[in-house]
Structure 1
Amino acid sequence: MTSPHFVVIGECVADVVRTDGAPDTVHPGGSPANVAYGLARLGLPTALLTQLGDDPYGGLIRAHLESAGVAVLAGPAEGLRTPSAVVRLDGEGRARYTFDIGWTLPAGELPHLPGHLHIGSIAAVTEPGAASVLALVEHWRGRAGVSYDPNVRPALLGGRDEAVRRVERCVGLSDLVKASDEDLAWLYPGRDPEDVARHWLGLGPATVAVTLGPDGAFAVTADGRRSEVPARPVEVADTVGAGDAFTAALLHARHTGAGLDEALTRAAAAAALTVSRPGANPPDAAELAAALEAPASTPN
């Protein structure tokens, strides 16, 4: 394949989706893996530096990623078990996770010159692997763009103060940061999401985007711009992977030269398509283009 412009670094997770009265279903997941898959589905050369076990979950995830064209860069699997999470859906399709995960990425170099690095979620803040992730970012920062999505998992973060310290370190290394209002509410209880976004701008990023669930999304920039977009009306199957689809489409839009307003519009459309169907199933380029051309409609 073409040397990947985008290199995503982070975990893969097998999402075991559990709903009352129905058999379990297993979907390939993990926030960084979902972003890599979403970028590749949109036509961008993408690699994922990750860890996978030599087990059925690992095989499922690898096949899923490679089906979209993602180059999977996974180290030796000996002794590793592919991470998993039980995903419980409430009556509105919102997901809650219980994790069985470890992250021990060893130090190393990338086999390709990246144009852009994306990091996030568990892998960026969970030791011992997080040290390797941040070492790669620090090595390439200034020569490659950097983006970050904290995708907060409170059960894996321990104390809030230490979690904020780790997250803010990643924010400070990034050019673009995307977070959800739920992420910010856990990290900074009681603070307005836009106040937090502007605080993060002061740490170094050029752009901070925040998703607000049914209230849409907004972004603020270091040069004083602000943009917002409403959520697109959709009948929700579940919310698994919606934020990752938003991130992938936002990165794709900015890479292809879209302005901030257009980038948020594309990202919101990608998230809406993803929540309309089960699992982390982001749109490909044709699906996203069709959704953007179609008039918005109210779900039944």
Structure 2
Amino acid sequence: MALPAHLVVGLGEALWDLLPAGKHLGGAPLNFAYIASLLGEHALIASRIGNDPLGAEIEAELAGRDLDTSGIQTDSKLPTGTVDVRFRGGQPEYEIRQPAAWDALEWTPKWHEIAAKCDAVCFGTLAQRAPKSRATIQNFLENTRPTCLRVFDINLRRPFYDRETIESSLHLATILKLNDLELPEIAAIVGLKGGSIDALMQEMLHRFGLKTVLVTRGEHGATAANEEKIALHPGFKVRVSDTIGAGDAFTAAAIHCILRGIDLDKTLAFANKWASWVASQAGAMPPIAEQQRLKMLSEVVASAS
């Protein structure tokens, strides 16, 4: 039996990743929303694109996917966002062009309506690099219901973050997701004292009143903490195509489970499964055969029953 859908929002940048082999749809909030849609959620992207050919291509691409695009704004002056992606030692390096349309996110009645209805919203630091978008994102978060999962998926991209943005976002969030390289940097920025990953997660929980902290560890899987326990999953071995979007897939799958009250150990296993699948594919929003999608989705249905 299918589990009920929730309104899940990816809030922030929608853009094109310009890779050596060609361009792929990207932006962490869009990647997150896409995987949420594959998981059967009512997934909505709240972003801003330019009135230009690249913006039209984003709209055309999304028209063929099961994503709610009613939250996409169009800017008459600023261009659709792009990122130049190069690989060094198998890891992506990003040159994020600016300004972009998503630097001018507007707080509108439509977005107020979306904020008031959503069950989960995922946001990061990158789309907050410009003051206007930062104010809009924080308005959105402040207008969600108390039960809404406000997911801060940090996604640090130098030099587009600062202490003020990070701390204000942590205070607005209920769930934090970051990787094991970002964790010590964030700990230093906000003045945490813990040394180990476990200690830092627990300090984050209590300092910022979070419900859950999720830490991805690359090929070593992921760990997580909530008020009840600390969980660890070693991940799955796959032949990696590229890692772009794997962390966003992890976040979407984890939130899918948390919305349904699924145990933290099972949540990590399910999230790692989806992250490893994306890592085995090219780009952050790969197509998936319906039979495979249903098979992967059935694992969380079984966990919830």
Alignment of 1:49 onto 2:49: no
Alignment of 1:12 onto 2:10: no
Alignment of 1:219 onto 2:224: yes
Q: 1:232-247 counterparts in 2 under 5 A?
A: 232-247=236-251
- What's the CA shift for 1:282? 5.5
Worse-matched range after superposition: 99-108 or 62-71: 62-71
Secondary structure of the 1:11 match is coil
- Listed as ranges, the gaps of 5+ residues in structure 1 are 19-23, 158-162, 295-300
Give 1:5's aligned amino acid: L
- What's the CA shift for 1:81? 0.4
Q: 1:67-82 counterparts in 2 under 5 A?
A: 67-72=64-69, 73-82=71-80
Secondary structure of the 2:182 match is helix
Alignment of 1:201 onto 2:201: no
- What's the CA shift for 1:182? 2.1
Correspondence for 2:61 among 43, 59, 64: 64
Return closer, same or farther for 1:287/1:177 CA change in 2, 3 Å cut-off: farther
- Listed as ranges, the gaps of 5+ residues in structure 2 are 189-193, 300-305
Q: How far apart, CA to CA, are the structure 2 residues paired with 1:286 and 1:175?
A: 34
Give 1:216's aligned amino acid: G
Q: How far apart, CA to CA, are the structure 2 residues paired with 1:187 and 1:275?
A: 25
Alignment of 1:275 onto 2:272: no
Return closer, same or farther for 1:185/1:211 CA change in 2, 3 Å cut-off: same
Q: How far apart, CA to CA, are the structure 2 residues paired with 1:152 and 1:140?
A: 24
Q: Is the 8 Å Cα contact of residues 266 and 288 (structure 1) preserved in structure 2?
A: no
Give 1:187's aligned amino acid: I
- What's the CA shift for 1:168? 2.4
Worse-matched range after superposition: 231-240 or 4-13: 4-13
Return closer, same or farther for 1:3/1:127 CA change in 2, 3 Å cut-off: farther
Correspondence for 2:137 among 133, 137, 159: 133
Q: How far apart, CA to CA, are the structure 1 residues paired with 2:29 and 2:273?
A: 20
Return closer, same or farther for 1:116/1:293 CA change in 2, 3 Å cut-off: closer
- What's the CA shift for 1:104? 1.5
Q: 1:81-120 counterparts in 2 under 5 A?
A: 81-92=79-90, 94-102=91-99, 103-109=103-109, 110=111, 111-112=113-114, 113-120=117-124
Q: How far apart, CA to CA, are the structure 1 residues paired with 2:263 and 2:128?
A: 28
Q: Is the 8 Å Cα contact of residues 5 and 41 (structure 2) preserved in structure 1?
A: no
- What's the CA shift for 1:120? 1.8
Give 2:158's aligned amino acid: P
Q: Is the 8 Å Cα contact of residues 25 and 285 (structure 2) preserved in structure 1?
A: no
Q: How far apart, CA to CA, are the structure 1 residues paired with 2:67 and 2:297?
A: 25
- What's the CA shift for 1:292? 8.2
Aligned residue in 2 for 1:142: 146
Secondary structure of the 1:140 match is coil
Aligned residue in 2 for 1:298: none
Q: How far apart, CA to CA, are the structure 1 residues paired with 2:129 and 2:265?
A: 30
| TM-score using structure 2 length | 0.84
Correspondence for 1:33 among 27, 30, 34: 30
- What's the CA shift for 1:84? 0.6
Worse-matched range after superposition: 145-154 or 120-129: 120-129
Q: How far apart, CA to CA, are the structure 2 residues paired with 1:229 and 1:254?
A: 16
| TM-score using structure 1 length | 0.85
Q: How far apart, CA to CA, are the structure 2 residues paired with 1:53 and 1:191?
A: 44
- What's the CA shift for 1:138? 0.9
- What's the CA shift for 1:4? 6.4
- What's the CA shift for 1:288? 5.1
Return closer, same or farther for 1:260/1:289 CA change in 2, 3 Å cut-off: farther
Q: Is the 8 Å Cα contact of residues 179 and 217 (structure 2) preserved in structure 1?
A: yes
- What's the CA shift for 1:143? 4.7
For residues 33-59 of structure 1, the C-alpha deviation after alignment (integer angstroms, 9 at most, x for no partner) is: 110111112111011110011223222
Return closer, same or farther for 1:260/1:283 CA change in 2, 3 Å cut-off: farther
Q: How far apart, CA to CA, are the structure 2 residues paired with 1:214 and 1:120?
A: 23
- What's the CA shift for 1:208? 0.3
Q: How far apart, CA to CA, are the structure 2 residues paired with 1:88 and 1:185?
A: 25
